[in-house]
Chain A
Amino acid sequence: MRRQAATRFVISVFLLVALMGPLAPFHGVARADGVTFYATASDGYLSGGGYDYYAAHNAASGSVNQGNTANLVGQFRSYGGCAIHRSALFFNTAYIPDTATITGASLRLYGTQGFGTGYSIAVVRGADLNDPLVAGDYGDLLDETASLGQMDIAQWTTGGWNIIQLNSNGLAQISKTGITKLALRSTKDIEGIDPPFGAFDYAGFRSAEGGSPAMLCVSWTVGTTVPTVYNMYAFNVGNYTATLKGWLIDDGGEHCEYRFEWGLTPNYGNATPWTGSITSGSYFYAGLSGLTPDTTYHFRFRPQCKNSAGVGSGCDLTFTTPPIGDDSFPPEVGVEWVNGYPGWGHDLSLSDDSTAELAAALQGQGWSLQFNNPPDGQDGRAWEKHFKSAMRGGWDYLYADSVDLVMFSGHGDPGRLIFGGSSQDDEYLYGYEAYWGDIDLEWALLEACSALAYDDGVSSNKYDGWFAQALGGARLICGAATSIYGDNGQHVGPRLAAGWSVMDAWFWGCFENQDFYGHSCTLRVIAEDPGYFGDAVWGCGPTIIADPIVDNYYYCLNFVI
């Protein structure tokens, strides 16, 4: 890539924000949420009883009743003595965010029976309950006398839902990490009022086993938290410049400012200014200029975002500025070709000629041939990884992205190039595996059928979008959306050398070899920006000096032959 030198160590921030990600809801304010939790099947009730009310009331243990269709709460006295029922409920409320502020909660009970007057069903703390219940839980509830919310039995509905709002003490009992335990006692039980004979002061409500489990409806808000930031990569890395890319995964509930720290050590030492106002899912960028060329420098950087809760940082990454000369005269061309496709059943024979003729035309204009693979003229040395992004384990920084113009000639099909098998890779280069131009590449010529496959605007065959993702600073990717006849390098190369735009050279060069008869073929050029459709190659015609700004959009020009 060719750039104008800039003042050393002057940070410029350009075109910083691209709000491309999906917008998360509730930006800029605390996020509200509400969820209904159902009682687990561990619910049940504990009972004590006997002729001596106080002995029964104050007993350390009682009987455990689980698996019934209804749970009971309250007390009564009949011929057999008195009975005291205390219910226990368990809710898994771990879903509630740790950062949530619970603003309200209600307990909903489906009434099955309700007797007596002058008392209320009270919710009390159940923190000491065992899950599953044990006999000792009865006694443990004796001390739980503070009401967390209650309902007068006069309001109690049988055959319908009863809603008991929890007070602030009740809200405090709701766990954000696990099980919320609540118990129910009648106020007469809490007060220890010995029921006279014939006093039936108790109510029942359906259990989980009864099909209508108790519900705990909790609402909360999530306050602002420190944003979560992911480091993407550096691209458009030149001798003196680079563009850094970060991704704000979660804004923490507020619009965020962002910046990049960078430097030559893990301590960074430099930072771009805080700027922007971005939300979850946004990518953000900063351009650095005035860097120092050469491979000995490994610039470190990390993105940061901040809101009122604090600063979130991505992880530490490095990039390397290329040595001076990489972008200097002469510009470089690299070509790879495949003729033999063992096992595929359809070999080619002119891919080497096509690439060689293209390279020769540019060499005639002073270009340097950086690589011509296979170098020994034998198939099997053109590898997919030579075109694959380093981010995906490829070696493009040594091959496809180390030159100004690269050409591949061989088979292709929608969305991918085919390398024909090698122990070195997986045969296919899918468009989305490539990321070209973040180091050097300007123009890619893909002489391979259908790699930029046809998109009729209706079908989902938008494979050109696969290779459009490879535009990581490269200007144009030229290819075909349909089958084409090969050996086009002999026509394209001289046109490039003669100063034609890359697009014109590709279209009209390939045009020569194609056949009108029967059906058409479509050539396609995709560009980061339409301004680059007029680009000639370095030294041969007018070329835009500045590299494109990478974003999530591309342009597509089709030529039907």
Chain B
Amino acid sequence: MIRTRTVAAILLILFVAVMTYGTFISSLGCGGDAVGVEGLRVDFPEVAGPTGTPAVELAVELPDAPSAMMIYRVKQADVTPDAVADIGVKLGLHGEITTSTFRGRYTLCEESRCLFVWRASGAIEYQRKDEILFPLEAPTLPTKEEAKRIAIDFVDELDLSLVGAVVQDPFAGSYMSGPNELPTGEVVTQSYVCHWAVRFDCELHSVPLCGPGAKFEVRIGNNGEVGSMVRGWREVEPYEETSIKSPERALEELREGKGSHDAPLDCQEVILNGLCLAYWMEGLGEKQDYVVPVYVFLGESVGPDGKTQDFRGYVNAL
């Protein structure tokens, strides 16, 4: 009886020891399973419009995809007021730097110009709140080529260029129409482009970035003046390579209504013409620990009247 009790006690001690060690190791983040896949999956934002699970058709063959992809760990930004001041100087802003309680960002404003630096992500945003971007009369805009050059120069001068970022062709970032007649919406007088938007596409080891935090653009308004710039970027380091779903499985999940998509309410059918993998970046004000891959489905959604509109759907790759 005594022997039996002794054996039981030893076993209990060993069990507790093993459990304690495992918890300790996990807390150090050393183990491969320190962060479960469940916890890394993206909680996609809600789209205020779609409904149900429309029929999803493939217009292309599903591409091959790797069986595993790297998960990256974010090197948390150490944003200091001094660093904000340095950028401010380059923008000609010399005012007081305040810390906004709003999502924790530093703010440096002078008159209508503001610089925001997000402490959670290190994202940088510059904005002019005058009529440079949204003029009430048709502005004098540079050519698209000139706009592209202005954008590149602007980020270069701020030392915000990113290696591998590819500048895209400018597009109309805003347009004004009016007066428009009721109820037809016919433009009576004028419609004009208010400013150009120039974007930089960024990649992480040849995989594109997506999500609300993957923003890098410059907007150029009247007389070629920069009206806004935003750069959402997180420094990362390889964390762990992990297996991912197959494209077939991802498509199945899209059809099951998992993930997120923006098909309109009355959409009858979605025709997919593209599928790729991308890394998801959380919003500028969000703290993000890991950057993980997602499947992106692109195509067209078809309404009951046959009209189509762009479709985008996300499914977790993990």
Contact = CB atoms under 8 A, between A and B. Distances in A.
A78 interface: no
Interface in A419-474: 432, 447-450, 454-455, 457, 459, 461-466, 468-469
A413 B266 contact: yes
8 smallest A-B Cβ distances: which pairs?
A449-B49, A462-B185, A555-B178, A465-B185, A345-B52, A517-B210, A553-B179, A483-B262
Nearest to B136: A530
B210 A518 contact: yes
A552 B182 contact: yes
Contacts of A341: 51
Contact of B47 (A464, A468, A485, A531): A485
Contacts, number: 190
Contacts of B278: 517
Interface in A454-512: 454-455, 457, 459, 461-466, 468-469, 480, 482-487, 490-491, 494, 498, 500-501, 503-504, 508, 511-512
Given A346-B50, A457-B187, A469-B182, A518 B310 contact: yes
Given A515-B212, A519-B312, A559-B173, A552 B48 contact: no
A491 to B, nearest CB: 8
B24 interface: no
Interface string A543-561: 0000000001111111110
B191 A457 contact: yes
A253 interface: no
A552 B186 CA distance: 11
A462 B182 CA distance: 10
Interface in A372-386: none
Interface of A: 341, 344-346, 348-351, 409-414, 418, 432, 447-450, 454-455, 457, 459, 461-466, 468-469, 480, 482-487, 490-491, 494, 498, 500-501, 503-504, 508, 511-520, 527, 530-531, 533-534, 552-560
A557 B174 contact: yes
17 contacts: A411-B51, A412-B265, A413-B265, A414-B264, A465-B185, A482-B309, A483-B264, A485-B45, A511-B230, A515-B214, A517-B296, A517-B312, A553-B178, A554-B179, A554-B182, A557-B175, A560-B172
Contacts of A484: 47-49
B129 interface: yes
A413 B49 CA distance: 7
A412 B49 contact: yes
A468 B45 CA distance: 29
A291 B71 CA distance: 69
Category for how many chain B residues contact A: 35 or more
Contacts of A455: 185
A37 B171 CA distance: 63
Contact of B176 (A447, A449, A558): A558
Contacts of A500: 129
Contact of B212 (A504, A508, A514): A514
A345 B182 contact: no
Contacts of B312: 515, 517-519
B229 interface: no
Given A459-B307, A513-B212, A557-B174, 12 more contacts: A346-B51, A449-B262, A450-B49, A468-B182, A487-B45, A514-B212, A553-B178, A555-B176, A555-B178, A558-B176, A559-B174, A560-B197
Contacts of A508: 127
B56 to A, nearest CB: 14
Given A515-B214, A533-B136, A449 B45 contact: no
Contacts of B174: 557-560
Nearest to A515: B212
Contact of A553 (B134, B182, B209, B310): B182
Given A462-B184, A556-B180, A348 B48 contact: yes
A345 B214 contact: no
Contact of A518 (B171, B212, B296): B296
Contacts of A553: 178-182, 188
B183 A513 contact: no
Nearest to B284: A512
Contacts of A519: 298, 310-312
B129 A504 contact: yes
Contacts of A491: 285
A448 B48 CA distance: 5
Contacts of B161: none
Which of B179, B185, B199: most chain A Cβ within 10 A?
Answer: B185
A53 B120 CA distance: 119
B118 to A, nearest CB: 10
B211 interface: yes
Contact of B211 (A344, A490, A515, A559): A515
A13 to B, nearest CB: 23
A518 B210 CA distance: 8
